[in-house]
């Protein structure tokens, strides 16, 4: 199977360099609450529904959160120990700024307000404040991660989480089938017995544009996701997918958005 990148250490070094040099957290935020807002709204709605099922617990780890806190905004309604992780130090710094209520932090209010709307608050201003406050209280750590290395997160932070979630990360950081399968296997090691993995992603994803920069992505098929998770000892609990056309995004580099959740057997 041919993909955008070939499998080699040099390719991964190039990918890492590209993100370290060219990823702009502010532009990412602007795209997230602009052209991509309906993708995030779909993720928010679906995660809200997933967390109302038996996907429960106390602890949740987000692998590759970027500069965003959206998953924590949804999870903080039911989880009280949220760990966010990302490869780029400046993304982690942006998350920490938001947690600390720094005046220079990125403004995620459009997504915060939508979370409040999904949760049924009549007063969205009051609801947004409540969502933001509880999320800041429940984010316990912001740590480094690298999905291409065994362990993924620093050894000092490794433990069995009730839920491990990754959103729009694996397609950005992985270049080939073999690494995808090994990454899922390493993610599985961070999930406790009976715990869950949740993936939020895009099918047919060739890349995404931030300003003048296009970041290429690993365009993986659905059957690779299914095979990797089954191979890692998980059973599927659900897969919800919405075609690109229904999301109103001008970005034509993906076919559909999906959320899938799996339980560890």
Contacts of residue 218, defined as CB under 8 A and 6 or more positions apart, other chains included, come to 3, 4, 5, 170, 171, 172, 174, 175, 176, 180, 205
pLDDT of 1: 27
Where residue 248 falls (left for φ over 0; alpha for ψ -120 to 50; beta otherwise) is: left
pLDDT of 11: 84
9-110+136-264 CATH fold? Rossmann fold (3.40.50)
Rounded Cα–Cα distance for residues 19 and 32 (Å): 17
This model's pTM is above 0.85: yes
Task: Give residue 2's pLDDT band: very low, low, confident or very high (50, 70, 90).
Answer: very low
Over the stretch 226-246, which tens digit does the pLDDT of each residue have?
999 999 999 999 999 999 999
**Domains in the chain: boundaries:** 9-110+136-264
Helix (H) or strand (E) holding 203: strand 191-203
Over the stretch 36-66, which tens digit does the pLDDT of each residue have?
999 999 999 999 999 999 999 999 999 999 9
Task: Give residue 255's pLDDT band: very low, low, confident or very high (50, 70, 90).
Answer: very high
Q: What mean pLDDT, rounded, does the chain reach?
A: 94
Most distant pair of Cα atoms in the chain: their distance: 53
Over the stretch 157-208, which tens digit does the pLDDT of each residue have?
999 999 999 999 999 999 999 999 999 999 999 999 999 999 999 999 988 9
Q: Could you tell me what percent of the chain has a pLDDT over 90?
A: 88
Where residue 88 falls (left for φ over 0; alpha for ψ -120 to 50; beta otherwise) is: beta
Task: Check residues 88 and 13 and name the one with the higher pLDDT.
Answer: 88
């Amino acid at each position: 199977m041919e993909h955008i990148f070939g499998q080699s250490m040099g390719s991964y070094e190039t990918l890492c360099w590209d993100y370290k040099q060219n990823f702009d957290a502010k532009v990412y935020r602007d795209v997230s609450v602009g052209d991509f807002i309906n993708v995030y709204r779909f993720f928010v709605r679906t995660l809200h529904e997933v967390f109302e099922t038996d996907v429960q617990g106390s602890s949740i780890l987000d692998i590759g959160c970027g500069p965003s806190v959206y998953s924590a905004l949804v999870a903080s309604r039911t989880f009280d120990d949220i760990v966010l992780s990302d490869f780029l130090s400046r993304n982690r710094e942006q998350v920490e700024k938001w947690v600390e209520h720094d005046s220079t932090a990125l403004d995620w209010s459009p997504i915060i307000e939508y979370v409040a709307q999904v949760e049924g608050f009549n007063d969205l201003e009051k609801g947004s404040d409540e969502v933001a406050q509880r999320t800041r209280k429940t984010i316990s750590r912001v740590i480094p991660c690298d999905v291409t290395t065994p362990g993924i997160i620093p050894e000092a932070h490794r433990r069995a989480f009730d839920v491990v979630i990754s959103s729009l990360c694996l397609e950005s950081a992985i270049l080939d089938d073999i690494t995808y399968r090994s990454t899922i296997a390493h993610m599985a090691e961070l999930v406790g017995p009976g715990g869950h993995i949740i993936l939020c992603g895009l099918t047919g994803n060739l890349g995404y544009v931030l300003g003048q920069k296009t970041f290429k992505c690993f365009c993986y098929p659905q059957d690779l996701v299914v095979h990797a998770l089954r191979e890692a000892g998980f059973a599927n609990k659900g897969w919800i997918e919405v075609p690109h056309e229904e999301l109103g995004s001008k970005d034509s580099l993906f076919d559909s958005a999906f959320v899938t959740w799996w339980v560890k057997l």
